[in-house]
A and B are shown apart, each in its own frame.
Chain A
Amino acid sequence: ETGVTQSPTHLIKTRGQQVTLRCSSQSGHNTVSWYQQALGQGPQFIFQYYREEENGRGNFPPRFSGLQFPNYSSELNVNALELDDSALYLCASSFSPGDRGSERFFGPGTRLTVL
């Protein structure tokens, strides 16, 4: 059984650029949630995908968008990068949105630095 994986590990971009982050869910999981964790803060919910549809969104602007593929892997896209987008981006997978034990399995994260 493979765990949640994310790529890339680290990324450096400049303001105004676009970035795509990737997440492969744990085997058997069909739900992926994305979180942003700024330095010294707790993670903040961006959105969740379930069976290729967005299933809830946090307080993030539309330039944060996502996709989920038939194999349940997921992408997070951020357009028009701002300095405040510098953070650790985490994804978590679960068997279903209603899985009461979901968010137990976080990936290692992608560290995004915007210059």
Chain B
Amino acid sequence: GQNIDQPTEMTATEGAIVQINCTYQTSGFNGLFWYQQHAGEAPTFLSYNVLDGLEEKGRFSSFLSRSKGYSYLLLKELQMKDSASYLCAVRPTYSGAGSYQLTFGKGTKLSVIP
């Protein structure tokens, strides 16, 4: 089966750094995605990791360790507009029909306070 775990909620202060963790157990692995989702809106793509290591994109970075089934999203210089849910999603195996679907975690609701 597929299982993806993320903390339910986190709170951080404006200007600070926050790390949102994601652990996964899936049948195979072919990439991990992070999305930002504001209330009532669609998810917005943030990052994609398929190899181990850190991917940096502006204030956002994402790390992956395939051997540990672990990823994190790092947000620096937090702004009030970063208050949102952050979704971790894994694409399991890469073969056959239906293997391109994503399995999502329940999301981490981040509140940024002044």
Chain B residues, CB < 8 A from A68: none
Chain B interface, >50% SS class: loop
Whether the pair B107, A56 counts as a contact (CB closer than 8 A) is: no
Complex formed: what's the CA distance from A89 to B15 in Å? 34
Chain B residue with minimal CB distance to A96? B100
Give the total of B residues in contact with A, Cβ under 8 Å.
27
Known: A55-B98, A56-B97, A56-B101. A109 touches B33 (CB 8 A): no
Chain A residues, CB < 8 A from B4: 42
Give the total of A residues in contact with B, Cβ under 8 Å.
29
Stretch from B38-46, B52-60, B61-69, B73-81 at the A interface = B38-46
A100 to chain B, nearest CB (A): 6
Complex formed: what's the CA distance from A98 to B97 in Å? 10
A108 to chain B, nearest CB (A): 5
A66: interface (CB < 8 Å) = no
Whether the pair A41, B106 counts as a contact (CB closer than 8 A) is: yes
| Contact pick for B102, options A40, A97, A103, CB 8 Å | A103
